[in-house]
Amino acid sequence: MGSKQTSRREILKNGAALAGGLTLTSGAIAPALGQMPDHMAMGGSQNDYPMIMGSKELIEYGQRSHYVTSVRIMHPMGGRPSPDAFGKVFHLASPLQDSVGVVTPSSLHYVATTRGSYMPDIDPAKHTLTIHGLVDRPLTFTMEDLKRLPSVTRLHFIECAGNRHNGRQKTVQESHGMTSCAEWTGVLLSTLLKECGLKGNATWFVAEGSEEVKGASSMPIAKAMDDCLIAYGMNGEAVRPQNGFPLRLMVPGFEGIFNTKYLRRIKLVDRYYMNYNDFGHLQRDPKEAALSFQIGPKSVITRPSGGQQLPGRGFYEISGLAWSGGGAIRSVEVSTNGGRTWNRAEIKATPQRMAHTRFGYMWNWDGNEAEILSRCIDEIGQQQPTREQVAQYWNVPFERDYRVPGLDNSVMPWRIARDGSVTNGLA
């Protein structure tokens, strides 16, 4: 740990620049050097204090420091059909390596669409949600209608089913960046369905967005009546355009694609309907297909992670995120010796259901090569699997960069070299 000192000479030099600047630009009477009020002479130079709050834009709606350069990256998903004539496979991965806490800033929330890069630009005053099909009373709600109804606010992650790691990705953004967590506010879908009145044979529902291919998905009615949320709020303001403005269906714990953006219609039906979104969910038995919707227990170390550098031996907090579609995270363990032994990590706050949970483990690095991993268990007892177990489950060969047809929630290793550099432990 270092220390800094500012010489008296430097302070005086900066002070002189300040006095001059004031004289030239504002015409104010500049105090002579040496007569400057103490609080200014000691505060630093004028150059340290540009008036960056002085613009109308920054008064109305602030921005981050220009020193903070963490950004999303384009993330072409592996194993998907290539871009078609009507758009592009479009995925933005969140910079998990820089994440702190559990909320993802809306500006850095991951974005996934297989429906082209065109985003609906919807006027909320004209947007409506219609619920129809097997109901007693089909109803159409305006945005203002929805805001009059009982609201709920919940922390929930979303994760793209294609958020999988292999031996080639260099950073945690590339390997795990297709998940984020936000505070969502809206109306429970069950509240709306009770208004409409469900018919007895309404066993599935299809949600449809305003995108070019509508983003329709079929989901079981039990999920609708449990915890689905018609969200108009995200992290304290309106849902962002890239996340479905003005209305997004939240299906907590289900794969990202079911969380229908630009939601405009929900149809109650009596069977599983095949839709554009159903690649990957082609199971003979609709109940099995439904079960595969749910994200398994998963965790990853975000710091230190691939591409980062430990400056030297000593104490580090190993920090990461854990989440599960099965509910709240019950516990997280961290290994610093490639999985030979495991240590209980600290959970950083009361875990929320289907939400990212921050964990930490204090580690004294001795300067030798090490491999660090995390694994979690959720509230219903599901344990995050090893890579071998996931390959076995999907019946694919266990190779360095194997590719599974569904979610890969296996344990992710990071390797730390003697020089402190961190790399993908599978490479």
Interface with a copy of itself by CB under 8 A: which range of 63-71, 249-257, 335-343, 378-386?
63-71
Residues in 256-285 that interact with a copy of itself by CB under 8 A: 276
Which of 126/284 has CB closer to a copy of itself?
Answer: 126
Minimum CB separation from a copy of itself for residue 30, in Å? 9
Minimum CB separation from a copy of itself for residue 26, in Å? 8
Encoding tokens for residue 418? 């003697």
Which of 118/398 has CB closer to a copy of itself?
Answer: 118
Residue from 15, 177, 220, 246 that binds a copy of itself (CB under 8 A)?
Answer: 246
Encoding tokens for residue 426? 């599978």
Residue with tokens 């240590």: 343
Residues in 166-185 that interact with a copy of itself by CB under 8 A: 183-185
CA–CA gap between residue 171 and residue 371 (Å, rounded) = 15
Residue from 11, 14, 40, 343 that binds a copy of itself (CB under 8 A)?
Answer: 40
CA–CA gap between residue 329 and residue 133 (Å, rounded) = 37
CA–CA gap between residue 401 and residue 244 (Å, rounded) = 33
Residues in 175-234 that interact with a copy of itself by CB under 8 A: 183-185, 210-214, 232-233
Interface with a copy of itself by CB under 8 A: which range of 218-226, 283-291, 348-356, 368-376?
348-356
Encoding tokens for residue 13? 């030099």
The neighbour count for residue 349, using CB atoms within 10 Å, is 11
Residues in 316-345 that interact with a copy of itself by CB under 8 A: 316-317, 319
- 267, 197 in Cβ contact below 8 A? no
Residues in 104-133 that interact with a copy of itself by CB under 8 A: 104-109, 111, 117-126, 128, 130
Residue from 12, 20, 79, 140 that binds a copy of itself (CB under 8 A)?
Answer: 140
Question: Strand order in 370-378's β-sheet?
Answer: 343-344, 329-335, 370-378, 414-416, 422-424
CA–CA gap between residue 374 and residue 343 (Å, rounded) = 9
Which of 264/387 has CB closer to a copy of itself?
Answer: 264
Interface with a copy of itself by CB under 8 A: which range of 34-42, 247-255, 322-330, 332-340?
34-42
Residue from 34, 59, 81, 395 that binds a copy of itself (CB under 8 A)?
Answer: 59
Which of 58/380 has CB closer to a copy of itself?
Answer: 58
Helices and strands (DSSP H and E) totals, the chain:
9, 22
Q: Does 245 bind a copy of itself (CB under 8 A)?
A: yes
Q: Does 141 bind a copy of itself (CB under 8 A)?
A: yes
Encoding tokens for residue 275? 């839709």
Q: List all residues 6 or more positions away from 413 whose beta carbon is below 8 Å from its beta carbon.
A: 338, 339, 371, 372, 373, 424, 425, 426
Minimum CB separation from a copy of itself for residue 96, in Å? 10
- Residue of 214, 21, 222 lying closest to 113 (CA atoms): 214
Q: List all residues 6 or more positions away from 274 whose beta carbon is below 8 Å from its beta carbon.
A: 218
Residue from 54, 81, 200, 397 that binds a copy of itself (CB under 8 A)?
Answer: 54
Residues in 365-424 that interact with a copy of itself by CB under 8 A: none
Q: Does 72 bind a copy of itself (CB under 8 A)?
A: yes
Minimum CB separation from a copy of itself for residue 391, in Å? 33
CA atoms in the 13 A half-sphere facing the CB of 136: 9
Which of 216/219 has CB closer to a copy of itself?
Answer: 216
Minimum CB separation from a copy of itself for residue 104, in Å? 5
Residues in 73-102 that interact with a copy of itself by CB under 8 A: 73-74, 85-86, 90, 92, 98-102
- 355, 157 in Cβ contact below 8 A? yes
Which of 362/417 has CB closer to a copy of itself?
Answer: 362
DSSP 239-287: PPGGGTTT-EEE-TTB-GGGS-SSEEEEEEESSPPP-GGGTT---SSHH
Q: Is 260 exposed, middle or buried (0-12, 13-18, 19+ CB in 10 A)?
A: buried
Encoding tokens for residue 413? 């290793």
Residue from 341, 350, 368, 395 that binds a copy of itself (CB under 8 A)?
Answer: 350
